[in-house]
Amino acid sequence: MARQSESRPHPDRRDFLKTASTVAAGALFLPQLDALAANPCAIGPARAELSALMAHARRAGRVVQPFSLAQVKLTDSLFTQKRDRMLAYARGYGGVENVFAGPDRVLSIFRANAGLDTKDAQPVGSWENGTG
Domain residue ranges of the chain, discontinuous segments joined by + = 13-59, 76-132
Check pLDDT > 60 for residue 117.
yes
66 vs 8: which has the higher pLDDT: 66
The pTM (predicted TM-score) of the whole model is 0.31
User: Per DSSP, what are the bridge partners of residue 125?
Assistant: 128
Give the integer Cα–Cα distance in Å for 67 and 27.
39
pLDDT tens-digit map of 48-71: 776 777 777 777 776 677 888 899
